[in-house]
């Protein structure tokens, strides 16, 4: 058995810096190790020493200090192009050799990353299980009798078994999340369009996105920072807004409100081990002080069913039409059974489905907006290979119960491992947010990692995460209000019409005095810091979209302004304060404990 290297990016860079290993010796070790796992059917094309030499030689002209992925090995799902290496999409008859690498792949290589090879997948990325390939079923990294998850099967297993530091997959229905769950990895399903799709063979072009598998959220953020980028050649590419940049990653702090599925809408398909693992995960969340509230999963489930039961299967038909027309026997039987009907739905079916999807999206987005994020099981059951082959369509549909809606509804998600289930297979959950919430979700996942600390994939190597900076959602700003902006009072519209949401009702630290300022209506209070003679004051905290914070502050008249206000629990929040000169001629109302009490007396 070859040596087991710690391939976490920080550990690998440290080993390079100390001279403990070289990129050349590491790649040789990894090729030897890959041979030991030949029966797992991970690779369609493992790069030879000669094929890899061009990337290793290029490292000599790259400074490791300025190339964040210098010497870091990665795997590429074989529906993503690597220049000079065949792309097969797990269909030999489809194979072609691209002259250029996919934009994402090239950006990773430019940052110093070294391709290990092209990985096995469910043919044409059709499936969530990893058994639909003429190159053999890709087997679970913990127990080869079980499925690896798909379609990005080989990409996940290569990382889990310590053959790559990270890998690229793709995701239409859950292929960047289910394999992460079954192999104890972090799976990043980014916002559609955040990563270029140039050089990626689409399954459903309007829905697909590349995905990233890593051991932890630190590595995920680092790889995502290199991989993302707007692409003029990709009609679905989107620019990443400031609140979602790599610098926004940290560890969320403070109150966290998470939506969970009601018990009667959960499905584990007879897998008691996974059901108990989920309940245990939820229990640990509660113990960690995270607020959990239920949301209605029914509209998400209805949207999910549109993917395979609706007209979007026509996009899969488009991607494979030349083979279907000219050589249908080249297509894996189950894949052909799914794709072939895609040529039949009329355009009217597509429009009807789009109408319904938009209706469902409104309902789902409204529910999502009430939480910091949603949390679901990533999968309800991990099937054996035998079970999957016996009922390929039914089992695959069950694998997608918690995943199939995501890209249709334009949401972002992070799959994270939480514990080993009683059947000795890894279990995990998925965090869900709106488009461009990727870094916030990673920051929530980083917070949860302290509760669910597991090993790196199936390697047995302990995770060592860097100390994380405190982080709140950069997409919103918490604003403390204490007077006319309180819920239901005359100026509250200034928050609500900007999309503000009441986050909590609380009190300040006992260091403030409150005054009813002269003038009005509207009548306004002034909050003054007084360490020696202050008291607690009732306040509200509103979450305001960051893009509207400036216009809100711009409308605040003197002597009021926004500064940092201390809360009873020690937090500091941006909120209303008053210049000292403003209390001239004002009435002190500190003893009443808050503005509502004062207004009740004033209006009585």
Residue ending a domain, choose from 471, 490, 508: 471
Other beta carbons within 10 angstroms of residue 491's beta carbon come to 15
Q: Stretch 413-423: mean pLDDT, rounded?
A: 97
Q: Is 237 a catalytic residue?
A: no
Rounded to an integer, what distance in angstroms lies between the CA atom of residue 155 and that of residue 189?
Answer: 14
Residue 258: closest CA among 290, 289, 286: 290
Residue 67: closest CA among 38, 108, 105: 108
In this structure, what CATH number is given to the domain that contains residue 427? 3.90.1300.10
Long-range contacts of 107-110 (CB under 8 A, 24+ apart): 107/226, 107/227, 107/229, 108/69, 108/74, 108/168, 108/223, 108/226, 108/227, 109/55, 109/58
Q: Which two tokens stand for residue 298?
A: 């029914």
Q: Stretch 538-547: mean pLDDT, rounded?
A: 94
Same domain for 498 and 452: no
Of the listed 133, 141, 151, 155, which one is catalytic? 151
Rounded to an integer, what distance in angstroms lies between the CA atom of residue 585 and that of residue 211?
Answer: 62
Residue ending a domain, choose from 471, 495, 528: 471
The three-state secondary structure class of 429 is: strand
Task: Evaluate if residue 314 carries a pLDDT over 90.
Answer: no
Same domain for 532 and 447: no
Tens digit of each residue's pLDDT (9 = 90 or more) over 137-184:
999 999 999 999 999 999 999 999 999 999 999 999 999 999 999 999
Going from the C-alpha of 435 to that of each of 189, 334, 410, the distances in angstroms are 11, 32, 6
Q: Look up the pTM and report it.
A: 0.86
Q: Stretch 347-363: mean pLDDT, rounded?
A: 90
Same domain for 481 and 460: no
Tens digit of each residue's pLDDT (9 = 90 or more) over 102-128:
999 999 999 999 999 999 999 999 999
Task: Evaluate if residue 336 carries a pLDDT over 80.
Answer: no
- Overall domain count for the chain: 2
Going from the C-alpha of 299 to that of each of 262, 264, 309, 356, 418, the distances in angstroms are 13, 14, 15, 10, 26
Rounded to an integer, what distance in angstroms lies between the CA atom of residue 578 and that of residue 509?
Answer: 16
Strand 373-377, strand 257-260: pairing: parallel
| Residue 1 pLDDT | 62
- Count Cα atoms within 13 angstroms, Cβ side, for 456: 27
Of the listed 77, 189, 381, 503, which one is catalytic? 77
Tens digit of each residue's pLDDT (9 = 90 or more) over 452-491:
878 999 999 998 888 877 776 667 899 999 999 999 999 9
Instruction: Give the model's confidence band at 340: pLDDT under 50 very low, under 70 low, under 90 confident, else very high.
Output: low
Which runs of consecutive H residues, i.e. helices, occur in 490-594? 493-496, 549-554
Same domain for 161 and 45: yes
Residue 446 resides in a domain: yes
List, in sequence order, every beta strand (DSSP E) within 282-354: 291-294
Rounded to an integer, what distance in angstroms lies between the CA atom of residue 359 and that of residue 370?
Answer: 18
Tens digit of each residue's pLDDT (9 = 90 or more) over 236-245:
999 999 889 9
Same domain for 521 and 447: no
Of the listed 148, 158, 175, 196, which one is catalytic? 175
What is the extent of the structural domain holding 66?
9-471
Q: Is 151 a catalytic residue?
A: yes
Instruction: Give the model's confidence band at 342: pLDDT under 50 very low, under 70 low, under 90 confident, else very high.
Output: low
In this structure, what CATH number is given to the domain that contains residue 504? 3.10.490.10
């Amino acid at each position: 058995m070859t040596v087991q290297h710690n391939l976490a990016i920080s550990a690998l860079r440290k080993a390079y810096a100390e001279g403990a290993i070289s990129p050349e010796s590491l790649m040789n070790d990894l090729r030897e190790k890959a041979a030991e796992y030949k029966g797992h059917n991970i690779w369609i094309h493992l790069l030879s020493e000669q094929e890899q030499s061009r990337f290793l030689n290029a490292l000599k002209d790259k400074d490791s200090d300025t190339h964040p992925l210098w010497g870091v090995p990665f795997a590429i799902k074989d529906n993503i192009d690597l220049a000079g290496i065949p792309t097969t999409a797990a269909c030999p008859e489809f194979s072609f050799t691209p002259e250029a690498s996919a934009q994402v792949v090239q950006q990773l290589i430019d940052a110093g990353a070294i391709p290990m090879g092209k990985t096995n997948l469910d043919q044409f990325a059709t499936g969530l299980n990893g058994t639909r390939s003429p190159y053999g079923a890709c087997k679970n990294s913990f127990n080869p009798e079980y499925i690896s998850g798909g379609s990005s099967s080989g990409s996940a297993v290569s990382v889990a078994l310590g053959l790559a530091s990270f890998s690229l997959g793709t995701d239409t229905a859950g292929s960047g999340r289910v394999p992460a769950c079954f192999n104890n990895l972090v799976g990043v399903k980014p916002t559609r369009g955040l990563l270029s799709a140039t050089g990626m063979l689409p399954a459903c072009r309007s829905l697909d996105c590349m995905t990233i598998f890593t051991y932890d959220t630190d590595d995920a953020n680092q790889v995502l920072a290199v991989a993302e980028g707007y692409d003029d050649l990709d009609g679905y590419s989107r620019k990443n807004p400031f609140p979602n940049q790599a610098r926004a990653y940290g560890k969320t702090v403070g109150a966290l409100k998470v939506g969970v599925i009601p018990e009667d809408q959960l499905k584990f398909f007879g897998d008691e081990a996974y059901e108990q693992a989920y309940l245990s995960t939820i229990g640990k969340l509660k113990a960690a002080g995270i607020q959990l509230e239920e949301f209605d999963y029914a509209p998400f489930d209805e949207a999910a069913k549109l993917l395979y039961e609706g007209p979007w299967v026509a996009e899969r038909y488009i991607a494979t039409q030349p083979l279907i027309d000219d050589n249908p026997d080249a297509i894996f039987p189950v894949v052909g059974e799914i794709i072939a009907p895609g040529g039949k739905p009329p355009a009217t079916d597509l429009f009807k489905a789009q109408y319904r999807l938009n209706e469902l999206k409104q309902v789902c987005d409204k529910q999502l907006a009430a939480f910091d994020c949603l949390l679901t099981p990533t999968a309800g059951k991990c099937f054996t290979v035998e079970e999957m082959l016996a009922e390929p369509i039914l089992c695959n549909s069950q694998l997608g119960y918690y995943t199939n809606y995501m890209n249709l509804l334009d949401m972002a998600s992070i799959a994270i491992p939480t514990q080993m289930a009683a059947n000795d297979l890894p279990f995990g959950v998925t965090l869900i947010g709106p488009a461009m919430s990727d870094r916030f979700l990673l920051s929530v996942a980083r917070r949860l990692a302290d509760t669910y600390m597991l090993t790196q994939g199936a390697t047995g190597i302990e995770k060592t995460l860097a100390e994380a900076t405190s982080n709140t959602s950069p997409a919103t700003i918490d604003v403390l209000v204490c007077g006319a902006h309180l819920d239901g009072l005359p100026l509250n519209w200034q928050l609500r019409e900007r999309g503000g949401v009441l986050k909590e009702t609380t009190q300040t630290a006992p260091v403030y005095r409150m005054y009813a300022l002269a003038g009005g209506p509207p009548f306004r209070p002034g909050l003054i810091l007084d360490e020696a003679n202050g008291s607690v004051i009732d306040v509200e905290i509103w979450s305001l979209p960051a893009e509207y914070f400036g216009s809100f502050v711009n409308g605040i008249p003197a002597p009021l302004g926004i500064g940092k206000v201390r809360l009873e629990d020690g937090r500091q929040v941006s909120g209303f304060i008053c210049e000292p000169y403003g209390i001239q001629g004002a009435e002190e109302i500190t003893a009443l404990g808050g503005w509502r009490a004062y207004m009740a007396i004033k209006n009585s």
